Amino acid sequence: MALKNLEDGRAIQGLLAAKTVRSAVILGMGYIALEMCEALRARGLAVDLIKPGPVFLPWLHPDLAAVVKQELEANQAGVHLGRQLQRIESTEKKELRVLSDGPVLKCELALVATGVTPNSRLAERAGLQLGPQKSSHVDKTLLTSCPDIYAAGDCADAVHVVTGRDVWIPLALRANRAGWAVADNVTGRPVELPGVAGTAVFKVFDLQVARTGLNVAEAQEAGFDAVETVIQSRSRAHAHPGASTIHVQMVADRRTGKLMGAQMVGREGVAHRINAPAVALHAGMTVADFIQCDLAYAPPFSPVWDPLLTAANQLIKAL
């Protein structure tokens, strides 16, 4: 089964309700695959995840990715990296066999969560200019290369606020905002959208995983002199019970001192905290500017020095 929209989700729910499904193999290890892994484990299914690439969450700093992988394994999910998938066979016992160059994975449900591509065939066939991954290219007013056609949502590209380059990052806020902006523009209220920072968050069992902006490889590829730091801090003040570790990675450009991106993994205090560096990226702040930001503190929510400020204080030493 594929998992692309709400109907797919309902179909999976229906299948789980109608049959006794005890095991699943998920093809893919992106955020949707990981969220489904959690959902299926919560229903008591045995779950294996499999993908051809050798690196788990390759966009995430390896130290942070290791924490997420550990969380999956602690929840008895099988993580099979670097496996070239061959085919899926169904047996006479109505079992599925997922064949790869590794051990055969048997299951009753195989879920395909291998990513999405822009639904831009219409734009391509109409001869419109295409952007990254063949998305429909739009300007800041959401106009395509044809002056009578706008495009909004996962089918279209956007400008990245850090690099100024066109990117294709299919996420809900941009899609929604672009839809509103098109409505404004066609009804005579001109709007321009500055772009996206690629801010994203997801949950894997008890972990929150978040990112905004560029990682080191992306920053280097975009021509920046990228430098990064990785720190561990706490989600609450040291004397407050229930604190857990927050892992923070932060990237800056040596030439300008500008913040390029941040990533975080932790059990609490990650999901909304990522919005602070996201705003800093939109504002084009340097790490020095960010360090001076007046971030909130109270013992149940943060150490006096927020984990983001601790990371920025380390990062500035490397600039």
Ligand X SMILES: Cc1cc2nc3c(=O)[nH]c(=O)nc-3n(C[C@H](O)[C@H](O)[C@H](O)COP(=O)(O)OP(=O)(O)OC[C@H]3O[C@@H](n4cnc5c(N)ncnc54)[C@H](O)[C@@H]3O)c2cc1C
In angstroms, give the least distance from the CB of 254 to ligand X. 31
In angstroms, give the least distance from the CB of 215 to ligand X. 18
In angstroms, give the least distance from the CB of 181 to ligand X. 13
List the structure tokens of 246: 């927050």
List the structure tokens of 93: 């016992």
Query: In angstroms, rounded to a whole number, what is the distance separating the alpha carbons of residues 4 and 29?
Result: 14
Query: In angstroms, rounded to a whole number, what is the distance separating the alpha carbons of residues 256 and 272?
Result: 27
List the structure tokens of 238: 């040291």
Query: In angstroms, rounded to a whole number, what is the distance separating the alpha carbons of residues 41 and 47?
Result: 7
Identify which of residues 171 and 186 has a Cβ nearer to ligand X in the complex. 171
Identify which of residues 169 and 309 has a Cβ nearer to ligand X in the complex. 169
Task: Name residue 316's beta-bridge partners.
Answer: none
In angstroms, give the least distance from the CB of 260 to ligand X. 21
- Measured in degrees and rounded to the nearest 5, phi and psi for residue 92 equal -65, -25
Q: Residue 226: in which H helix or E strand, if any?
A: strand 226-234
The DSSP code for 58 is T
Identify which of residues 4 and 140 has a Cβ nearer to ligand X in the complex. 4
**226 within 8 A of 253, measured Cβ to Cβ:** yes
Identify which of residues 32 and 251 has a Cβ nearer to ligand X in the complex. 32
In angstroms, give the least distance from the CB of 217 to ligand X. 22
Identify which of residues 126 and 172 has a Cβ nearer to ligand X in the complex. 172
Collect all residues with Cβ–Cβ distance below 8 Å to 152 and sequence separation of at least 6. Answer: 138, 142, 175, 178, 179, 181, 182
In angstroms, give the least distance from the CB of 247 to ligand X. 21
For tokens 């993994």, the residue is 265
Residue type, 175: A
Task: Return the axis-axis angle of helices 62-74 and 31-42, rounded to nearest 10°.
Answer: 20
- Positions touching ligand X (CB under 6 A) are 3-5, 32, 119, 153-154, 170-173, 175
Identify which of residues 153 and 303 has a Cβ nearer to ligand X in the complex. 153
Identify which of residues 32 and 49 has a Cβ nearer to ligand X in the complex. 32
In angstroms, give the least distance from the CB of 44 to ligand X. 21
Identify which of residues 168 and 224 has a Cβ nearer to ligand X in the complex. 168
Q: Is 234 helix (H, G, I), strand (E, B) or coil?
A: strand
| C-beta nearest to ligand X: residue | 153
In angstroms, give the least distance from the CB of 28 to ligand X. 11
